[in-house]
Amino acid sequence: MLFGIDIWQLFKFGITGAAGFIIDFGVTYLLKEKLKVHKYIANSVAFILAATNNYFLNRNWTFENSDPDMTGQYITFMIVSMGGLLVNNGTIWFLNDRRKMNFWLAKFLAVFVSMIWNFIGYKFFTFNQ
């Protein structure tokens, strides 16, 4: 434990996040670069798909949660995730649109900024058995 956080749990959250990262970047690339979808729509769709994947991995592995109300828990998870999406898109907007940073680098950094929000929200609100 470090500052009340289980280090093994944080490690598993990172592994789960890596899976989500691959989905997030892969779907964003497909939508933005190949299908020419607007960058914020592409980013949002990819983020939601990655978050849904991560819900199941986090529930069953990271936080080992057995709450029988999966629907309510998923709704709470997605509410926290939507906050993370706002942080994510806001970071991209600031770095890419305002500071003229490359979109992919801005997105990469945005993942880490929103990861902090998501871990705290998931640990204390979604999976707080």
**Residues 15-69: tens digit of each pLDDT:** 999 999 999 999 999 999 999 999 999 999 999 999 999 999 999 999 999 999 9
Partner residues linked to 5 by β-bridges: 2
- 16 part of a folded domain: yes
Check: CB of residue 29 under 8 Å from CB of residue 3. no
- 11 part of a folded domain: yes
How much of the chain, in percent, has pLDDT values that exceed 90? 88
Backbone angles phi, psi at 5, to 5 degrees: -110, 130
- 92 part of a folded domain: yes
- 33 part of a folded domain: yes
- 1 part of a folded domain: no
- 32 part of a folded domain: yes
Q: Determine the Cα angle at 102 with ends 100 and 18, to 5°.
A: 135
- Range of 81's domain? 7-126
Indicate the number of domains in the chain. Answer: 1
Is residue 12 predicted with pLDDT exceeding 90?
Answer: yes
Q: How far apart are CA 60 and CA 33, in angstroms?
A: 33
- 2 part of a folded domain: no
Q: What does the DSSP 8-state code read for residue 99?
A: T
pLDDT digits (tens, 9 = 90+) for 69-104: 999 999 999 999 999 999 999 999 999 999 999 999
pLDDT score of 3: 67
Check residues 88 and 3 and name the one with the higher pLDDT. Answer: 88
Backbone angles phi, psi at 37, to 5 degrees: -80, 145
